[in-house]
Structure 1
Amino acid sequence: MNNYLETYPASAARTQRFSLGLPKAFVTSPDGERVLFLRTRGPEDRTSCLWILDGDEERLLVAPEQLGADGPVPEAEKIRRERTRERSSGIVSFSTDAGLTVAVFPVSGKLWHLDLLTGTLRALETPGAVVDPRLDPTGHRVAYVTDGSLHVLELADGNDRELAAADGPDIFWGLAEHVASESMNRTRGHWWSPDGTRLLATRVDQTQVQRWWIADPANPASRPREVAYPAAGTPNAVVTLHVLDLDGRRTDIDSGDFEYLPTAAWDAHGVLLSVQSRDQKTVQVLAADPTTGRTAVLHEQRDPAWVELVPGTPARTASGKLVVADDTPSTRRLLIDGRAVTPEGLQLRAVLDVTGETVLFQANDEPTERHLWLHDPTGLHQLTNSPGVHTAAGGVVTSSTETGQAFAVRRTGRQIESLAVRPALEPRITWLRAGDLQLRTALVLPSWYEPGTTLPVLMTPYAGPALQVAVRAATPLWPTAQWYAEAGFAVIIADGRGTPGRGPAWDKTVYGDTLSLPLEDQVTALHAAAEYCPDLDLTRVGITGWSYGGILSTIAVLRRPDVFHAAVAGAGPSDPRLYDTHWRERFLGHPDENAEAYDRSSPLPEAANLSRPLLLVHGLADDNVVAAHTLRLSAALLAAGRPHQVLPLSGATHMPTDEATSEGLMRHQLNFLREALGIAAPGTPPGR
């Protein structure tokens, strides 16, 4: 136990919380015999490489050091990686043709081409640094973005054409804007036609978007970085959609007056897109004629709170049947051709693949699990049943359970090896259902615990909209919880109202107030755990969280100091008016119209209530939840005469990845909690 307590922070930091060495970004050949994927070469290697599974053999195809490319990563690529939470270096994305015979990928802004049949690798000449290259389905040409302009490069002769120029300093083509990639799950901005002769592309005009400047205080000689950030209530980027012929002709897609473009695609039936109103209460699915740009409404969904965007929808089957999500109060259903094909109580989470008339999707009836389901002309079929989180992408099924992760090719069942290391100590989890709402709650106890041993409590929630953490899967949360447990805590992790997986009405209980009910649910989970295990010391309860979990931890010690006695809040969005339009207005509306909702969902008006120890942590390079959130909260606490601590992380973005920073932060948080809760003799189990 003591060895794990000492070594775990360094191990978690070196392995990026045990994620290095996991395979990802799969693409499978049509016959299922070959799979291209990314993976680092080991559990402490941060450089991602390109690999192939060919039959039963895995081979390393390309390592970045083979390329001699060690230049700077383009700024637009850095932004793309931050939005997608990509933490590795090297080859972090690639694109292939439909037959998996060729691939292209960027490294340090340079474009590379790999013939997967001969193994020939060559650099491609481009007029600028390359961002998000995409091969056309036939493998003859590649589209990419450089300096905000969209280009197409012919692979046969090297001819490079600028299809759409960035016609202004605040305009770019072919990439996702901030709110699309951060809050809508749309991380790209250009799509090939099925025959590879035309492109569908976004034009993003950020002229009216407010500008923020993020400096590096640890390096005062560095220029601040300019960020176009559409905070709640301020103008969004203007996003339009266009069809570009290879000869330069442009057709504008008429997407109406709706402000948001959540999805776009080009299938055998033409262009398919969805648009969403600024208040997010209406979503329309549109079919667009790529020749004329005219659109027709195929489906419309309305909701008095907001319409949830479900990944993978809309889509169409080979015969043209529309695949969308639809809500009843209790269930998010899958609709195919206007007919619900899933039963009440089975919650649709994502559509993963549509091939022919077969729709593969992820759904759950038990919120701690997610399973693969398939609908085809013969009916509905459940493909997985072992407790865990199962998903699929690129022809590979990823199964994550409490005992680990596995990666299997769907068609052949062949396994792709994980090179990640497992934590030295298995989490000791007891699953509970708390209160009348049956809140899914996990209690993690020390390996050395015996009944009669008094344990202080640490709650580590996220518990906010759009993210679950109390799931039966091998996530980094569990080994960290066990580390805190070995330090002497009973750790409680609970998902309350607003977290996904329990139906639309459950999701939308937080509309207009994102803090009150989730906080109430954490108290319920705490008392349920104490009823199950009477050794929990309810006079010493800490709470810690990151992002939404950070603001929930803050509000816990402000509103319920009778329950929570210390808090660590990391990167909390303390001022909801500083967070982006699409995310914040989804739950609170427009700040000019719902000012009270913004006040209810912020700790700033309640800063004077602090009476418990509070540690605020924030990365100074965070461009998602900017450091101003924590600085404003600290200022409000100071003005009210309330002592607290602030730990700034130099150079850190929303999720710190630097090894020394990550390790030091874990140890600092533990020491803070021990001191705040009066836990003496570090490493000595309390009450023994």
Structure 2
Amino acid sequence: MTVSADGAHVIFLRSSGPEDPADQLWVLDVATGQERLVADPAQLLAGDEDLPAAERALRERLRLSASGIGSYTADSSGTAVVFTLAGRLFRADLRSSEVREIPTAGDVVDPRPAPRGDRIGYVTNGALHIVDAGGNDQVLAAEDGVTWGLAEFIAAEEFHRFRGYWWSPDGRAVLAARVDESRVPRWHLHDPANPDQPPSTVAYPHAGGPNADVSLHLLDLDGGWVDVHWDRETYPYLVCVSWSESGGPLITVLRRLQQHGLVLSVDPRTGETQVHAELADPRWVEPVPGTPAYLPDGRVLIGGELAHDGYDARCLFADGSLITPPGLYVRRVSGRIDNDLIVEAQDGEPSEQHIYRVRVSPAGTGLDARKITTTAGWHTAHAAGNTLVIGALALDHAGTRYRVYRGDEPRGEIASRAATPPYTPRPVLQRVTDRQLPTGVLYPRNHVAGRKLPVLVDIYGGPGHQEVLAVRSRWIERQWWADAGFAVVAIDNRGTPGVAPSFDKAIHRRFADVILADQVDALTALADKHTDLDLSRVAIRGWSFGGYLSALAVLRRPDVYHCAVAGAPVTDWELYDTAYTERYLGLPNDGSDVYAHNSLLESAAEPPIGADDARPMLLIHGMVDDNVVAAHTLRLSAAMLAAGRPHSMIPLTGATHLAAGGLSERLLRLELDFIRRSLPS
């Protein structure tokens, strides 16, 4: 969703209904409250959508499972919007509603219009191009063996920097990333179900191995070229980049272990950089999305942590001066209204997120953060000009309700076409143990108090993601499980966000011990409060990090967990990527046993001691997963087979880490059958 700079329009994607997976481009006129369809993929494409490989990879990193217009970008005025369909470039004029295809030199990835909308940048075959409305195409940067204008795997997957070039505010130059992956190991992904097809080869930077070489360059449209200078050997990760009319480019760079970083301003004439701030943490640095950025008064907005004088907070600073109250846990800077910041933050209840309007006062004049949202739930915001759009998810209604405001005046809602679920889940949310771990318990709709129920722990548990939210959609599938005869439990252990930085970072170099201890302690505490939970019959299921945690649970605590479904689990951390793994576990060759201790393979290789130690496990993995490669599950299966541990495996042919296209839904009944057969009667 995008609000135009003048606040006159809200641009958004929406499909025609709950069974239509293809996103269309829409615009809302804020003055009238009228919605208008701008671009319908069904009308623009003659046949089925066939995505180029680079676009498929970008959508995988963005976690986009929808088809159609997966994403778009707008010019600074919000009147020209560009997007791709099947690798073709389209430009939509919101004033005239004209949509036309722009001829290009090849399949298009990540098109972005210049601020005035008169030119469009795009990437094809690793080269950065500029094309004007008349189809005049200019190669801005191209080089054999490297890519220009695209984010490398680590930037997109682990730092959520999904783009690789940025227009100057005047549209005369582009700041572009050059990515050389020649030293990154090549891994080969092959789907055995299609032996006639060659394997795909990806550059995968595994823990302890080399990363891509990433540099930044200022490219003038007239052919000028300036390199951006910083100590790339010491600070190899380019995490954040911004370039606004308020000042020149700002970048955030981190050391490899991410315990120290720099916020740098870039001189666009010379490429020289100046340190604006240092970021440091003995565990790891966690930048705040939406920062760094110039404020209208010239100060630089930076997100960071306040961990002294008794504070344990995630805050915003302007040139070092605190501008948000230390009681807030800031998640994202969403935009500006006038000179005020619109901020998404949590304030003591991790299951909810609220919107705040933060006045950026001069240093020493006090903190002014006004809470805008008052209803319970999870709120997001988009803001520009004098227009604010607030999306609200909650337990008491389905879908997301988007309300539009101009100033303090409501201007209506953006209509939702989501399905209304046939039931209303009513989870019991509470904090347990001395660590105040967020939890939720959900019963069958026909549950009679006093009837003991087997327990299903539905889990993720890893950094950057919460499961226990006051949001109905998080509990719809869980209600299906509950109605199948389970008490469904969700637990957010230490390491998940939303509570405090110390809570987030307690897992540093000790994934397995902290997370599993929290899960066990919380489950025990919940059973004391919910006496219908039968802890003699406990199943656990999860995907990705949740798959790792599920397998870890039955391997190391078979006294608590009696069977597991592990989807796409990381089983050997040396097989996972550099930035994620080293952030939490350090380097694998540092002389410690941290990697071995947190691996599943050593535990799986130990022969079970009696039947109670041989808990059954169902492994599921996509054969062409380029994030958590299938080798993780195959190696775990081999170790369990050698040790005589019971397990089953479902290989998902042609599936990636997303398991999109209805795969995950079709697996539910197979998982249910496995759990019913595996739990004690």
Q: Same fold (TM over 0.5)?
A: yes
Q: Aligned with 1:414: secondary structure? A: strand
Give the corresponding residue for 1:144.
Answer: 122
Change (3 A) 1:83 1:563: same
1:311-360 CA distances to partner (integer Å, 9 max, x unpaired)?
11111111211111222331112112311122333211112224653222
Give the SS at the match of 1:515: helix
What is the aligned partner in structure 2 of residue 502 from structure 1?
499
The alpha-carbon deviation at position 377 of structure 1 amounts to: 4.4
Q: How does 1:478-489 map onto structure 2 within 5 Å?
A: 478-489=475-486
For residues 130-279 of structure 1, the aligned pairs below 5 Å read 130-155=108-133, 157-165=134-142, 167-169=143-145, 171-257=146-232, 258-268=235-245, 269-279=247-257
Separation in structure 1 between the aligned mates of residue 533 and residue 621 of structure 2, nearest angstrom:
30
- Rounded Cα–Cα distance in structure 2 between residues aligned with 1:44 and 1:362: 31
Structure 1: distance between partners of 2:192 and 2:470 = 41
Structure 1 match to 2:364: none
How does 1:239-388 map onto structure 2 within 5 Å? 239-257=214-232, 258-268=235-245, 269-329=247-307, 330-354=312-336, 357-365=339-347, 366-377=349-360, 379-388=368-377
Deviation at 1:422, TM superposition (A): 2.7
Q: Deviations over 1:585-618 (max 9, x none)?
A: 0000011115511112111111124511111111
Q: Tell me the equivalent position of 2:389.
A: 396
1:12 corresponds in structure 2 to: none
Query: How do 1:23-34 residues align onto structure 2 when only pairs under 5 Å count?
Result: 26-34=1-9
Distance across 2 between alignment mates of 1:426 and 1:39: 24
Q: Which amino acid aligns with 2:369?
A: L
Shift of 1:204: 0.4
CA deviation profile, 1:147-201 (whole Å, cap 9, x unmatched): 100011122x321100001x123x1010110010100010000111111111111
Q: Hey, what does 2:654 align to over in structure 1?
A: 651
Distance change (3 Å), C-alpha of 1:315 and 1:410: farther
Helix, strand or coil at the partner of 1:617:
strand
Instruction: Give the conservation status (yes or no) of the 8 Å contact 2:65–2:658.
Output: no
Amino acid at match of 1:572: P
Q: Cα 1:595–1:668, aligned 2, differ >3 Å: closer, same or farther? A: farther
Q: Aligned partners of 2:304, 2:243: CA distance in 1, in Å? A: 22
Task: With the length of structure 2 as denominator, give the TM-score of the two structures.
Answer: 0.93
Q: Which amino acid aligns with 1:443?
A: V
Cα distance between partner residues in 2 of 1:36 and 1:350 = 20
Relative to structure 1, the CA distance from residue 354 to residue 285 in structure 2 (aligned partners, 3 Å threshold; closer, same or farther) is farther
Deviation, structure 1 residue 73? 1.2
Structure 1 residues 588-597 or 196-205, which shifts more?
A: 588-597
Contact 2:3–2:382 (CA<8 Å) still a contact in 1? no
SS of aligned partner of 1:638: helix
Task: Specify the code of the residue in structure 1 equivalent to 2:92.
Answer: L
Matched, 1:407 2:402: yes
3-state SS, counterpart of residue 56 of structure 2:
helix
Would the alpha carbon gap of residues 369 and 517 (structure 1) be closer, same or farther in structure 2, given more than 3 Å must change? Answer: same
Q: Give the C-alpha shift of residue 30 in structure 1.
A: 3.8
State the partner residue of 2:679: 677
| Correspondence for 1:23 | none
Give the counterpart of 2:588 among 578, 588, 591.
591
Q: 2:440–2:490: 8 Å Cα contact kept in structure 1?
A: yes
Could you tell me which runs of 5 or more consecutive residues in structure 1 were left unpaired when the two chains were aligned: 1-25, 680-688
Where does 1:561-640 land on structure 2 (aligned, <5 Å)? 561-593=558-590, 595-607=592-604, 608=606, 609=608, 611-640=614-643
Amino acid at match of 1:485: A
Asked whether the equivalents of residues 615 and 645 of structure 2 are also in contact (C-alpha less than 8 Å), the reply is no
Output the CA distance in 2 between the equivalents of 1:354 and 1:209: 40
Is 1:315–1:354's contact at 8 Å kept on the other side of the alignment?
A: no
Structure 2 Cα separation of the partners of residues 594 and 485 of structure 1: 46
Q: What amino acid does structure 2 have at the position aligned with 1:340? A: L
Match of 1:556 among 553, 558, 561: 553
Quick one: distance in 1 between partners of 2:303 and 2:5? Answer: 28
Q: Find the aligned partners of 1:68 and 1:589 in 2 and give their Cα distance.
A: 48
Residue in structure 2 matched with residue 440 of structure 1 by the alignment: 438
Q: Structure 1 residues 68, 452: CA separation in 2 closer, same or farther (over 3 Å shift)?
A: closer
Distance, in Å, in 1 between the alignment partners of 2:405 and 2:82 is 24
1:67 counterpart (32, 41, 44): 44
2:418 corresponds to which residue?
420
Preserved contact between residue 65 and residue 661 of structure 2 (Cα < 8 Å): no
Residue 69 of structure 1, CA deviation: 4.7
- In the alignment, the residues of structure 1 paired with residue 494 and residue 411 of structure 2 have an alpha-carbon distance, to the nearest angstrom, of 38
Greater RCO, CA 8 A, separation 6+: 1
Looking at structure 2, the residues matched to 76 and 229 of structure 1 have their Cα atoms a distance apart, in angstroms, of: 15
Letter in 2 for 1:673: I
Distance 2:300 2:616 in 1: 54
Q: Indicate conservation of the 8 Å contact 2:287/2:304, yes or no.
A: no
Identify the residue that residue 528 of structure 1 maps to in structure 2. 525
Structure 1 CA distance, aligned partners of 2:392 and 2:65? 22
Q: TM-score, normalised by structure 1?
A: 0.92
Do 1:457 and 1:489's aligned partners in 2 also have CA atoms closer than 8 Å? yes
Q: Which residue in 1 is equivalent to 2:540?
A: 543
Letter in structure 2 aligned against 1:513? R
Which residues of 2 match residues 78-97 of structure 1 at below 5 A?
78-97=56-75
CA distance in structure 2 between the aligned counterparts of 1:263 and 1:573, rounded to whole angstroms: 27
CA RMSD of aligned residues (A): 1.5
Contact 1:191 1:265 in 2 (8 A): yes
| Separation of aligned partners in 2, 1:455 and 1:32 | 53
Q: Secondary structure at the match of 1:226?
A: strand
* Alpha-carbon distance in structure 2 between the residues aligned to 1:555 and 1:569: 9
SS at match of 2:593: helix
Is contact 1:51–1:60 with CA below 8 Å preserved after alignment?
yes
User: Paired residue for 2:11?
Assistant: 36
How far residue 474 of structure 1 moved from its aligned partner, in angstroms, is 3.1
2:365 aligned partner:
none
Q: Deviations over 1:406-437 (max 9, x none)?
A: 11224254211111113211112111221111
| Deviation sequence 1:115-159 (CA, Å, 0-9, x none) | 22122222111111111000011111000001100011122x321
Q: Aligned equivalents of 2:158 and 2:460: distance in 1?
A: 17
CA distance in 1, matches of 2:360, 2:640: 61
**Equivalent residue for 1:124?**
102
Pairing partner for 1:668 from 666, 670, 677: 670
The alpha carbon displacement at 1:65 in A equals: 2.1
Unpaired runs of 5+ residues, structure 2, are 362-367
Once the 2 structures are TM-superposed, how far is the Cα of residue 56 of structure 1 from its aligned partner?
A: 2.3
**Equivalent residue letter for 2:183:** Q
Residue 655 of structure 1 and its aligned partner are, at CA, apart by 2.0
Aligned identity (percent) is 46
| Mapping of residues 107-118 of structure 1, within 5 Å | 107-118=85-96
Aligned-partner Cα distance in 2 for 1:480–1:122: 41
Is this contact kept in 1: 2:331–2:344, CA < 8 A?
yes
Instruction: State the distance in 2 between where 1:623 and 1:145 align.
Output: 21
* Aligned partners of 1:317 and 1:355 also within 8 Å: no
Q: Aligned partners of 1:474, 1:148: CA distance in 2, in Å?
A: 42
- Cα distance change, pair 84–198 in 1 and its aligned pair in 2 (3 A): same
Q: Distance in 1 between matches of 2:618 and 2:376?
A: 36
Q: Is the 8 A contact 1:588 1:594 kept in 2?
A: no
Change (3 A) 1:594 1:106: farther
Could you tell me whether the CA contact under 8 Å between 2:425 and 2:472 is conserved in 1? no
How far apart, CA to CA, are the structure 2 residues paired with 1:573 and 1:67? 40
